[in-house]
Amino acid sequence: MTIAIVLGAITLLVAGFVLWPIFQNRKQSDQTKNVDAGAKAGSTGTQTAQAETSSDILDADDEMLRDLAVYRDQLSEIERDIERGVLTPEQASAARIEVQRRILNADQRIKKDVKAHPKPKNGTALRPMAAGLFVLFLIGGIGLYVDLGSPTMPDRPIASRGDEINAIRQAQAMDQDRKEVLNRAVSDLSQKLIENPDNIKGWELLGASLMALGRPAEAQTAFLEAVKLSGRDGDYLAMYAESLIRADNGQINAIARGALNEAAKSDSTDPRIQYYLGLADIQDGNYEAAIDRWIALANGAPADAAWLPMVVSRIQDAAAAQGIDIEGRLTVKQAPPMVAGPTEDDIKAAQEMTPEERQEMIASMVNNLAERLKDNPDNPEGWARLIRAYSVIGDREEAQSAYESAHRQFADQPELLSRLNGLASELGLKIVE
Partner 1 sequence: MIVEIGHYALILSLVMAFAQSTIPFIAASRRDPVLLTVAPRLAITCFALVAASFLALTYAYVTSDFSVLNVLSNSHTSKPMIYKITGVWANHEGSMLLWVMILTLFGGAVAAFGRNLPPTLLARVLGVMGLIGAGFILFIVLTSNPFDRVMNPPLDGEGMNPLLQDPGIAIHPPFLYLGYVGFSVAFAFAVAALIEGRVDPAWARWVRPWTLAAWVFLTAGIGLGSWWAYYELGWGGWWFWDPVENASFMPWLAGTALLHSAIVVEKRDALKSWTIFLAILAFSFSLLGTFLVRSGALTSVHAFATDPTRGVFILFLLFAAVGGSLTLYAWRAPTLKGGGLFQPISREGALIFNNVLLSIAAAMVLLGTLYPLLLETLTGEKISVGAPFFNATFVPIITPVIIAMAFGPLMPWKRADLFAVMGKLKIALAVTVVVVLVTLWLSGGPAFAVFGMGLAAWLFVGSILEWAGRIKLFRESFATSFRRMRNLPRSAHGTMLAHAGVAIVVAGITGSQAWTEEAVQSLSVGESTQLADHTFTLSGIREYQGPNFVSREATVTITTPGEKTIVLTPEKRVYTVEGMPTTEAGIRSGFTGDIYAVIGDQDESGKWITRFYVKPMIPWMWTGGLVMVFGGLMSLSDRRYRIGAPVRSNKTSAKPAPAE
Q: Which of the residues 65 through 84 are near partner 1 (CB under 8 A)?
A: 65-74, 76-77, 80, 83-84
User: From the list 90, 156, 195, 254, which residue makes contact with partner 1 (rule: CB under 8 A)?
Assistant: 156
Site stretch for partner 1 (CB under 8 A), options 7-15, 173-181, 296-304, 391-399: 7-15
- Residue 59 as a binder of partner 1 (CB under 8 A): the answer is yes
User: From the list 33, 149, 283, 322, which residue makes contact with partner 1 (rule: CB under 8 A)?
Assistant: 149
Instruction: Report, in Å, the least distance between residue 80 CB and partner 1.
Output: 7
Start-to-end CA span in the chain (Å): 40
Give whichever of 112 and 358 is closer to partner 1, judged by the CB atom.
Answer: 112
- Residue 154 as a binder of partner 1 (CB under 8 A): the answer is yes
Site stretch for partner 1 (CB under 8 A), options 143-151, 236-244, 317-325, 422-430: 143-151
User: From the list 27, 100, 104, 137, which residue makes contact with partner 1 (rule: CB under 8 A)?
Assistant: 137
| Type of residue found at 160 | S
Asked if 207 and 243 count as a contact pair (C-beta separation under 8 A), the reply is: yes
Give whichever of 6 and 349 is closer to partner 1, judged by the CB atom.
Answer: 6
Instruction: Report, in Å, the least distance between residue 337 CB and partner 1.
Output: 17
Site stretch for partner 1 (CB under 8 A), options 125-133, 238-246, 283-291, 411-419: 125-133
- Residue 338 as a binder of partner 1 (CB under 8 A): the answer is no
Give whichever of 18 and 431 is closer to partner 1, judged by the CB atom.
Answer: 18
Instruction: Report, in Å, the least distance between residue 126 CB and partner 1.
Output: 5
Residues 35-54 that bind partner 1 (CB under 8 A): 51, 53-54
Instruction: Please state, in angstroms and rounded to a whole number, the distance separating the CA atoms of residues 197 and 229.
Output: 9
Instruction: Report, in Å, the least distance between residue 358 CB and partner 1.
Output: 25
- Residue 353 as a binder of partner 1 (CB under 8 A): the answer is no
Instruction: Please state, in angstroms and rounded to a whole number, the distance separating the CA atoms of residues 62 and 171.
Output: 76
Give whichever of 30 and 371 is closer to partner 1, judged by the CB atom.
Answer: 30
Residues 18-37 that bind partner 1 (CB under 8 A): 18-22, 25
Considering CB under 8 A, how many residues would be counted as binding partner 1? 76
Instruction: Report, in Å, the least distance between residue 131 CB and partner 1.
Output: 9
- Residue 124 as a binder of partner 1 (CB under 8 A): the answer is yes
> Among residues 347, 421, 394, 381, which one has the least CA distance to residue 176?
381
- Residue 287 as a binder of partner 1 (CB under 8 A): the answer is no
CA atoms within 13 A on the CB side of 161: 9
- Residue 217 as a binder of partner 1 (CB under 8 A): the answer is no
- Residue 106 as a binder of partner 1 (CB under 8 A): the answer is yes
Asked if 240 and 223 count as a contact pair (C-beta separation under 8 A), the reply is: yes
Instruction: Please state, in angstroms and rounded to a whole number, the distance separating the CA atoms of residues 244 and 46.
Output: 98
Give whichever of 56 and 344 is closer to partner 1, judged by the CB atom.
Answer: 56
Instruction: Report, in Å, the least distance between residue 60 CB and partner 1.
Output: 10
Residues 159-178 that bind partner 1 (CB under 8 A): 159, 161, 164-165, 168
Instruction: Report, in Å, the least distance between residue 25 CB and partner 1.
Output: 5
- Residue 17 as a binder of partner 1 (CB under 8 A): the answer is yes
Instruction: Report, in Å, the least distance between residue 3 CB and partner 1.
Output: 5
